[in-house]
A = this chain, B = another copy of it.
Amino acid sequence: MRSSLVNRIPVGILGATGTVGQKFIVLLQDHPYFEIAELVASEKSAGQRYGDIVKWKQDVPVPASVATMKIKTTEDALSAKILFSGMDSSVAGPAETAYAEKGHVVISNSKNHRMDADVPLVIPEINADHLELVRKQKHSGAIITNSNCSTMFLAMTLAPLQAAFGIEAVHVTTMQAISGAGYPGVPSLDILGNVIPYIGDEEEKMETEPQKILGTLKNGGIEPAPFVVSAQCNRVAVVDGHTETLSIKFREKPSVNDVKRVLAGFSGLPQERKLPFAPVHPIIVTEQQDHPQPARDVWLERGMATIVGRIRPCPILDMKMVILGHNTVRGAAGAAILNGETYVELGYLES
Protein backbone atom coordinates (compact mmCIF):
# COMPACT_ATOMS: atom_id res chain seq x y z
CA MET A 1 0.00 0.00 0.00
CA ARG A 2 1.21 3.47 -0.79
CA SER A 3 2.43 4.44 2.61
CA SER A 4 0.96 7.88 2.41
CA LEU A 5 -0.67 10.10 -0.10
CA VAL A 6 0.12 13.56 1.12
CA ASN A 7 -2.62 14.93 -1.04
CA ARG A 8 -5.59 12.71 -1.67
CA ILE A 9 -6.66 12.31 -5.29
CA PRO A 10 -9.86 14.20 -6.10
CA VAL A 11 -12.47 11.96 -7.72
CA GLY A 12 -15.89 12.49 -9.26
CA ILE A 13 -18.93 10.28 -8.87
CA LEU A 14 -21.06 9.72 -11.99
CA GLY A 15 -24.66 8.71 -11.29
CA ALA A 16 -24.22 10.07 -7.79
CA THR A 17 -27.87 9.93 -6.75
CA GLY A 18 -28.44 6.28 -7.72
CA THR A 19 -27.93 3.40 -5.35
CA VAL A 20 -24.45 2.58 -6.68
CA GLY A 21 -23.54 6.25 -6.54
CA GLN A 22 -24.71 6.40 -2.93
CA LYS A 23 -22.61 3.37 -2.10
CA PHE A 24 -19.55 5.05 -3.65
CA ILE A 25 -20.16 8.01 -1.36
CA VAL A 26 -20.51 5.86 1.75
CA LEU A 27 -17.46 3.75 0.95
CA LEU A 28 -15.18 6.62 -0.09
CA GLN A 29 -15.63 8.49 3.19
CA ASP A 30 -12.20 8.75 4.76
CA HIS A 31 -10.57 6.85 1.90
CA PRO A 32 -6.78 7.13 2.15
CA TYR A 33 -6.22 7.73 -1.59
CA PHE A 34 -9.40 9.30 -2.90
CA GLU A 35 -11.45 12.33 -1.98
CA ILE A 36 -14.87 13.04 -3.41
CA ALA A 37 -14.64 16.35 -5.26
CA GLU A 38 -17.47 16.32 -7.78
CA LEU A 39 -20.90 14.74 -8.13
CA VAL A 40 -22.66 14.21 -11.43
CA ALA A 41 -26.32 13.31 -11.82
CA SER A 42 -29.15 13.88 -14.25
CA GLU A 43 -30.15 17.20 -15.71
CA LYS A 44 -33.05 17.67 -13.33
CA SER A 45 -30.79 17.77 -10.25
CA ALA A 46 -28.30 20.21 -11.80
CA GLY A 47 -27.09 22.92 -9.45
CA GLN A 48 -28.91 21.55 -6.42
CA ARG A 49 -27.30 20.52 -3.17
CA TYR A 50 -26.84 16.78 -3.04
CA GLY A 51 -28.36 16.41 0.42
CA ASP A 52 -31.48 18.27 -0.63
CA ILE A 53 -32.48 16.06 -3.52
CA VAL A 54 -31.02 12.59 -3.06
CA LYS A 55 -33.41 9.81 -2.05
CA TRP A 56 -30.87 8.41 0.36
CA LYS A 57 -31.28 4.68 1.00
CA GLN A 58 -28.21 3.95 3.12
CA ASP A 59 -28.19 3.20 6.84
CA VAL A 60 -25.58 5.85 7.59
CA PRO A 61 -26.28 9.54 6.95
CA VAL A 62 -25.05 11.48 3.92
CA PRO A 63 -21.53 12.66 4.83
CA ALA A 64 -21.71 16.36 5.71
CA SER A 65 -19.07 17.36 3.18
CA VAL A 66 -21.02 15.66 0.39
CA ALA A 67 -24.46 16.86 1.44
CA THR A 68 -23.64 20.44 0.57
CA MET A 69 -21.97 19.77 -2.80
CA LYS A 70 -23.70 21.16 -5.86
CA ILE A 71 -24.64 18.55 -8.43
CA LYS A 72 -23.13 18.81 -11.92
CA THR A 73 -24.39 17.25 -15.11
CA THR A 74 -22.72 15.50 -18.01
CA GLU A 75 -22.66 18.89 -19.74
CA ASP A 76 -20.28 20.34 -17.16
CA ALA A 77 -16.50 20.11 -17.43
CA LEU A 78 -15.05 18.13 -14.54
CA SER A 79 -11.70 18.76 -12.93
CA ALA A 80 -11.20 15.37 -11.26
CA LYS A 81 -9.20 12.98 -13.38
CA ILE A 82 -10.64 9.78 -11.87
CA LEU A 83 -14.38 9.28 -12.17
CA PHE A 84 -16.21 6.43 -10.44
CA SER A 85 -19.27 5.61 -12.50
CA GLY A 86 -22.50 4.20 -11.19
CA MET A 87 -24.44 5.57 -14.15
CA ASP A 88 -27.53 3.78 -15.30
CA SER A 89 -26.84 1.53 -18.25
CA SER A 90 -29.41 3.44 -20.30
CA VAL A 91 -26.97 6.36 -20.48
CA ALA A 92 -23.57 5.05 -19.42
CA GLY A 93 -22.42 3.84 -22.86
CA PRO A 94 -21.83 7.10 -24.75
CA ALA A 95 -21.43 9.19 -21.56
CA GLU A 96 -18.50 7.18 -20.29
CA THR A 97 -16.88 7.23 -23.72
CA ALA A 98 -17.23 11.00 -23.83
CA TYR A 99 -15.50 11.35 -20.46
CA ALA A 100 -12.67 9.09 -21.57
CA GLU A 101 -12.26 11.18 -24.71
CA LYS A 102 -11.85 14.25 -22.51
CA GLY A 103 -9.00 12.50 -20.70
CA HIS A 104 -10.81 11.14 -17.66
CA VAL A 105 -10.17 7.72 -16.22
CA VAL A 106 -13.62 6.20 -15.85
CA ILE A 107 -13.75 3.38 -13.30
CA SER A 108 -17.15 2.04 -14.16
CA ASN A 109 -19.61 -0.33 -12.57
CA SER A 110 -21.94 -0.14 -15.58
CA LYS A 111 -22.32 -3.02 -17.95
CA ASN A 112 -22.07 -1.08 -21.18
CA HIS A 113 -18.35 -1.34 -21.97
CA ARG A 114 -17.48 -4.52 -20.09
CA MET A 115 -17.26 -6.73 -23.12
CA ASP A 116 -15.57 -4.16 -25.40
CA ALA A 117 -12.39 -5.68 -26.78
CA ASP A 118 -10.16 -2.88 -25.52
CA VAL A 119 -11.79 -2.40 -22.12
CA PRO A 120 -10.37 -4.33 -19.18
CA LEU A 121 -12.92 -6.19 -17.09
CA VAL A 122 -10.95 -6.36 -13.89
CA ILE A 123 -11.01 -8.20 -10.59
CA PRO A 124 -7.55 -7.32 -9.33
CA GLU A 125 -7.04 -10.53 -7.38
CA ILE A 126 -7.43 -12.31 -10.73
CA ASN A 127 -6.40 -10.23 -13.68
CA ALA A 128 -4.77 -6.93 -12.70
CA ASP A 129 -2.56 -7.46 -15.76
CA HIS A 130 -5.60 -6.87 -17.98
CA LEU A 131 -5.33 -3.17 -17.11
CA GLU A 132 -2.72 -3.08 -19.88
CA LEU A 133 -5.65 -3.06 -22.30
CA VAL A 134 -6.26 0.61 -21.58
CA ARG A 135 -3.23 1.39 -23.68
CA LYS A 136 -5.22 0.10 -26.66
CA GLN A 137 -8.04 2.53 -26.02
CA LYS A 138 -8.24 5.26 -28.62
CA HIS A 139 -8.90 8.15 -26.29
CA SER A 140 -6.68 10.16 -24.01
CA GLY A 141 -8.42 8.83 -20.89
CA ALA A 142 -9.43 5.30 -20.01
CA ILE A 143 -12.41 3.10 -19.24
CA ILE A 144 -12.01 0.31 -16.70
CA THR A 145 -14.88 -1.92 -15.68
CA ASN A 146 -15.72 -4.38 -12.97
CA SER A 147 -17.96 -7.37 -13.41
CA ASN A 148 -21.65 -7.85 -12.93
CA CYS A 149 -22.44 -8.39 -9.25
CA SER A 150 -23.36 -12.07 -9.63
CA THR A 151 -20.37 -12.70 -11.85
CA MET A 152 -18.05 -11.29 -9.20
CA PHE A 153 -18.49 -14.09 -6.69
CA LEU A 154 -18.55 -16.75 -9.40
CA ALA A 155 -15.36 -15.51 -11.04
CA MET A 156 -13.65 -15.13 -7.67
CA THR A 157 -14.49 -18.75 -6.83
CA LEU A 158 -13.52 -20.10 -10.22
CA ALA A 159 -10.19 -18.30 -10.55
CA PRO A 160 -8.12 -20.34 -8.10
CA LEU A 161 -9.90 -23.55 -9.09
CA GLN A 162 -9.20 -22.90 -12.77
CA ALA A 163 -5.54 -22.32 -11.98
CA ALA A 164 -5.30 -25.47 -9.88
CA PHE A 165 -7.54 -27.98 -11.62
CA GLY A 166 -8.86 -26.52 -14.85
CA ILE A 167 -12.57 -25.87 -15.25
CA GLU A 168 -14.71 -27.32 -17.99
CA ALA A 169 -18.24 -26.34 -17.03
CA VAL A 170 -20.23 -24.60 -14.30
CA HIS A 171 -23.90 -24.69 -13.46
CA VAL A 172 -24.97 -21.73 -11.34
CA THR A 173 -28.37 -20.82 -9.87
CA THR A 174 -28.53 -17.44 -8.15
CA MET A 175 -30.76 -16.05 -5.42
CA GLN A 176 -30.15 -12.32 -5.75
CA ALA A 177 -30.87 -9.44 -3.42
CA ILE A 178 -33.21 -6.58 -4.27
CA SER A 179 -30.52 -3.94 -3.84
CA GLY A 180 -29.01 -5.23 -7.07
CA ALA A 181 -31.92 -3.71 -8.96
CA GLY A 182 -31.36 -0.15 -7.76
CA TYR A 183 -34.09 2.24 -6.66
CA PRO A 184 -37.06 2.20 -7.02
CA GLY A 185 -36.09 -1.15 -8.54
CA VAL A 186 -38.20 -4.15 -7.63
CA PRO A 187 -41.80 -3.28 -6.59
CA SER A 188 -42.59 -4.75 -3.20
CA LEU A 189 -45.73 -6.42 -4.57
CA ASP A 190 -43.43 -8.47 -6.80
CA ILE A 191 -41.03 -9.77 -4.19
CA LEU A 192 -42.52 -9.78 -0.69
CA GLY A 193 -43.12 -13.48 0.02
CA ASN A 194 -42.18 -14.29 -3.57
CA VAL A 195 -39.40 -15.44 -5.87
CA ILE A 196 -38.99 -13.98 -9.37
CA PRO A 197 -37.21 -16.59 -11.50
CA TYR A 198 -35.92 -14.11 -14.06
CA ILE A 199 -33.60 -11.09 -14.12
CA GLY A 200 -33.24 -9.40 -17.49
CA ASP A 201 -29.84 -9.92 -19.14
CA GLU A 202 -28.33 -11.38 -16.01
CA GLU A 203 -27.86 -14.92 -17.25
CA GLU A 204 -26.16 -13.67 -20.40
CA LYS A 205 -23.67 -11.67 -18.32
CA MET A 206 -22.91 -14.58 -16.04
CA GLU A 207 -22.39 -16.88 -19.03
CA THR A 208 -19.84 -14.61 -20.78
CA GLU A 209 -18.06 -12.34 -18.28
CA PRO A 210 -16.20 -15.03 -16.30
CA GLN A 211 -14.42 -16.27 -19.41
CA LYS A 212 -13.11 -12.78 -20.16
CA ILE A 213 -12.04 -12.18 -16.57
CA LEU A 214 -10.22 -15.51 -16.37
CA GLY A 215 -8.91 -15.05 -19.91
CA THR A 216 -5.33 -14.48 -21.01
CA LEU A 217 -3.83 -11.24 -22.25
CA LYS A 218 -2.40 -12.15 -25.62
CA ASN A 219 -1.48 -10.08 -28.65
CA GLY A 220 -3.05 -7.03 -27.13
CA GLY A 221 -6.38 -8.71 -26.54
CA ILE A 222 -8.03 -11.14 -24.21
CA GLU A 223 -8.30 -14.78 -25.09
CA PRO A 224 -11.26 -15.98 -23.06
CA ALA A 225 -10.97 -18.97 -20.77
CA PRO A 226 -12.48 -22.02 -22.50
CA PHE A 227 -15.16 -23.17 -20.02
CA VAL A 228 -18.94 -23.13 -20.29
CA VAL A 229 -21.28 -21.43 -17.79
CA SER A 230 -24.98 -22.17 -17.54
CA ALA A 231 -26.81 -19.65 -15.34
CA GLN A 232 -30.29 -19.49 -13.84
CA CYS A 233 -30.97 -16.20 -12.07
CA ASN A 234 -33.63 -15.50 -9.45
CA ARG A 235 -34.62 -12.55 -7.32
CA VAL A 236 -35.46 -13.24 -3.67
CA ALA A 237 -36.59 -11.15 -0.70
CA VAL A 238 -33.13 -10.32 0.62
CA VAL A 239 -31.83 -6.75 0.91
CA ASP A 240 -28.09 -7.29 0.42
CA GLY A 241 -26.18 -10.40 -0.59
CA HIS A 242 -26.31 -12.68 -3.60
CA THR A 243 -26.32 -16.42 -2.86
CA GLU A 244 -25.37 -18.85 -5.64
CA THR A 245 -25.39 -22.63 -5.87
CA LEU A 246 -22.66 -24.03 -8.10
CA SER A 247 -21.85 -27.35 -9.66
CA ILE A 248 -18.45 -27.49 -11.34
CA LYS A 249 -16.82 -29.92 -13.75
CA PHE A 250 -13.02 -29.97 -13.51
CA ARG A 251 -10.37 -31.11 -15.94
CA GLU A 252 -8.36 -32.72 -13.14
CA LYS A 253 -10.48 -34.16 -10.36
CA PRO A 254 -9.79 -32.61 -6.95
CA SER A 255 -10.98 -33.91 -3.60
CA VAL A 256 -13.23 -31.84 -1.37
CA ASN A 257 -10.19 -30.98 0.72
CA ASP A 258 -8.22 -29.96 -2.35
CA VAL A 259 -10.96 -27.54 -3.27
CA LYS A 260 -11.16 -26.10 0.23
CA ARG A 261 -7.40 -25.66 0.46
CA VAL A 262 -7.11 -23.93 -2.89
CA LEU A 263 -10.02 -21.58 -2.20
CA ALA A 264 -8.95 -20.66 1.32
CA GLY A 265 -5.40 -20.02 0.18
CA PHE A 266 -6.28 -17.69 -2.65
CA SER A 267 -4.89 -14.17 -2.73
CA GLY A 268 -3.61 -11.72 -5.31
CA LEU A 269 -2.19 -8.31 -5.95
CA PRO A 270 -4.58 -6.40 -3.64
CA GLN A 271 -3.52 -8.59 -0.74
CA GLU A 272 0.20 -8.40 -1.56
CA ARG A 273 0.07 -4.63 -1.86
CA LYS A 274 -2.32 -4.33 1.08
CA LEU A 275 -4.63 -2.04 -0.84
CA PRO A 276 -7.12 -0.18 1.38
CA PHE A 277 -10.20 -2.02 0.07
CA ALA A 278 -8.50 -5.41 -0.23
CA PRO A 279 -10.03 -8.12 1.94
CA VAL A 280 -7.36 -9.93 3.92
CA HIS A 281 -8.97 -13.16 2.75
CA PRO A 282 -10.71 -12.66 -0.60
CA ILE A 283 -12.31 -16.10 -0.22
CA ILE A 284 -13.52 -17.44 3.12
CA VAL A 285 -14.37 -21.13 3.33
CA THR A 286 -17.02 -21.84 5.95
CA GLU A 287 -17.53 -25.23 7.56
CA GLN A 288 -20.97 -24.45 9.01
CA GLN A 289 -23.37 -26.76 7.26
CA ASP A 290 -26.11 -24.14 6.74
CA HIS A 291 -23.84 -21.27 5.67
CA PRO A 292 -23.07 -18.97 3.89
CA GLN A 293 -26.17 -16.88 4.58
CA PRO A 294 -26.70 -13.30 3.46
CA ALA A 295 -28.07 -12.14 6.82
CA ARG A 296 -25.06 -13.49 8.69
CA ASP A 297 -22.04 -13.44 6.44
CA VAL A 298 -22.39 -10.63 3.96
CA TRP A 299 -20.33 -8.15 5.99
CA LEU A 300 -17.31 -10.41 6.48
CA GLU A 301 -14.15 -8.54 5.41
CA ARG A 302 -16.24 -5.33 5.35
CA GLY A 303 -18.37 -6.72 2.50
CA MET A 304 -15.36 -7.50 0.29
CA ALA A 305 -15.16 -11.28 0.75
CA THR A 306 -16.60 -14.16 -1.22
CA ILE A 307 -17.82 -16.81 1.21
CA VAL A 308 -17.92 -20.44 0.09
CA GLY A 309 -19.63 -23.28 1.92
CA ARG A 310 -21.16 -26.71 1.55
CA ILE A 311 -18.35 -27.98 -0.67
CA ARG A 312 -19.31 -31.55 -1.55
CA PRO A 313 -19.27 -33.94 -4.51
CA CYS A 314 -21.86 -33.63 -7.26
CA PRO A 315 -23.20 -36.87 -8.73
CA ILE A 316 -23.43 -35.29 -12.21
CA LEU A 317 -20.54 -32.86 -12.57
CA ASP A 318 -17.76 -32.98 -9.97
CA MET A 319 -18.28 -30.63 -7.06
CA LYS A 320 -21.17 -28.65 -5.59
CA MET A 321 -20.92 -25.62 -3.33
CA VAL A 322 -22.74 -22.47 -2.23
CA ILE A 323 -21.18 -19.03 -2.59
CA LEU A 324 -22.17 -15.61 -1.29
CA GLY A 325 -21.04 -12.02 -1.49
CA HIS A 326 -22.20 -8.47 -0.88
CA ASN A 327 -23.63 -7.37 -4.18
CA THR A 328 -23.38 -3.62 -3.70
CA VAL A 329 -19.96 -3.68 -2.01
CA ARG A 330 -17.71 -6.37 -3.49
CA GLY A 331 -20.21 -6.78 -6.32
CA ALA A 332 -20.37 -3.10 -7.33
CA ALA A 333 -19.01 0.06 -5.69
CA GLY A 334 -16.34 -1.69 -3.64
CA ALA A 335 -15.15 -3.55 -6.72
CA ALA A 336 -14.74 -0.30 -8.64
CA ILE A 337 -12.89 1.32 -5.75
CA LEU A 338 -10.49 -1.62 -5.56
CA ASN A 339 -9.99 -1.27 -9.30
CA GLY A 340 -9.22 2.39 -8.78
CA GLU A 341 -6.75 1.59 -6.05
CA THR A 342 -5.07 -0.99 -8.27
CA TYR A 343 -4.87 1.48 -11.13
CA VAL A 344 -3.17 4.03 -8.91
CA GLU A 345 -0.96 1.45 -7.20
CA LEU A 346 0.36 0.14 -10.50
CA GLY A 347 1.34 3.65 -11.55
CA TYR A 348 -1.12 4.02 -14.43
CA LEU A 349 -2.27 7.38 -13.19
CA GLU A 350 1.12 8.99 -13.57
CA SER A 351 1.96 7.31 -16.85
Contact = CB atoms under 8 A, between A and B. Distances in A.
B197 A310 contact: yes
A155 interface: no
B299 A59 contact: yes
B315 A197 contact: no
A314 interface: yes
A320 B230 contact: yes
Interface stretch (A27-35, A93-101, A181-189, A250-258): A181-189
Given A175-B236, A314-B230, A295 B194 contact: yes
Contacts of A236: 175, 195, 236-237
Interface stretch (A9-17, A144-152, A286-294): A286-294
Contacts of A237: 188, 192-193, 236-238
9 contacts: A173-B173, A175-B234, A183-B189, A186-B188, A187-B187, A188-B191, A197-B245, A230-B315, A230-B316
Interface string A290-326: 1111111111100000000110001111001010000
A117 interface: no
B195 A238 contact: yes
Nearest to A179: B189
Contacts of A293: 194-197
Contacts of A53: none
A316 B186 CA distance: 30
A243 B238 CA distance: 16
B238 A194 contact: yes
B183 A184 contact: no
Nearest to A300: B61
Contact of A289 (B178, B198, B322): B198
